[in-house]
Amino acid sequence: MSGSRNAALGLAEGPDAAGPAVRGEPSGRGSRGAARRNKGRPGRFGIVIPAIGVAVVLVAIVTIVTYVMSPNGSGGASMATALSGLTHSKQLAMLEQERQEMVVMDAAANTLTSAASPTKVNPSAVMAAAQATSSADSSSGSSTGTSVVQVAVPNPGTAEQIGYKMLPSFGFNQTTQWSCLEQLWTRESGWRWDARNPDGAYGIPQAFPGSKMASAGSDWETDPATQIKWGLEYITSTYGTPCSAWDEEQSAGSY
């Protein structure tokens, strides 16, 4: 009986002794919870592998661009060669176009007759003529600062004609000195032998006083030739040349 009782107690106590195991959560249920937790998290390899791939692509792009743009790289040299070839090709095209235009212009010029050709001035001839005129002025003692206006040869029988013909006898060049003398006495007296100034100057050269011209002839009051002779003697002794006297006339208002 006691044995049976003990066995019965043993059976009764068995569950109590294994109480924690009976009350604990079954092992199958814990495994399913852990599986659900692991399923909700992405794996490490799912993030790392795509990141590595993107990094490799970026590194490759940077390397290619750097190589192409590098001055020492063959890619950069190829681009420079291509650009240079493009520029040279444009220049060659422009030169070829200009050459063709010149060919057309030459062909058109060859069709013109000699009568239609414009007269051209030789610059060397112009300079030589100017130097020759300057040398003539220097040899006759003219002033280089004179503004000379060329005038025509005077009409025969006039006082101007007398003065024009008398210039060489005083060593003056008619080509270079006549215009100065003509302008000088045109301003002073208008080449009138009876021109009289209120201050006492008289005659074509406006001698002051007029009686000074008596040294050239007793007819100084009425003869243009006598007055012109005296006037040229005065210019020679005082100014050297008619152009120098004309310089003084322009700057001071008288000579």
pLDDT in tens, 186-195: 999 999 999 9
Is residue 228 domain-shared with residue 143, that is, in the same domain?
Answer: yes
Of the candidates 154, 178, 167, 139, the residue with the CA atom closest to the CA atom of residue 232: 167
pTM of the predicted model, to two decimals? Answer: 0.45
Q: What is the pLDDT of residue 112?
A: 52
pLDDT band at 201 (very low <50, low <70, confident <90, very high): very high
Is residue 88 domain-shared with residue 142, that is, in the same domain?
Answer: no
Q: Tell me how far apart the alpha carbons of residues 62 and 68 are, in angstroms, rounded to a whole number.
A: 10
pLDDT band at 226 (very low <50, low <70, confident <90, very high): very high
Average confidence score pLDDT of the chain: 73
pLDDT band at 77 (very low <50, low <70, confident <90, very high): low
- Containing structural domain, residue 67: 49-102
Which of 10-19, 42-51, 55-64, 230-239 shows the lowest per-residue confidence on average (mean pLDDT)? Answer: 10-19
**Domain total of the chain:** 2
Q: What angle, 0 to 180 degrees and rounded to 10, lies between the N-to-C axes of helices 44-69 and 74-110?
A: 40
Per-residue tokens: 242: 């008619």
Q: Is the pLDDT of residue 200 over 60?
A: yes
Question: Last residue of a domain, which of 60, 84, 102?
Answer: 102
Residue 202 backbone dihedrals phi, psi, to 5 degrees: -145, 155
Q: Where would I find the H helices in 140-173? A: 159-166
Tokens 């300057």 identify what position? 134
pLDDT band at 150 (very low <50, low <70, confident <90, very high): confident
Instruction: Enumerate helices (H) and strands (E) in the chain, giving the number of each.
Output: 10, 0
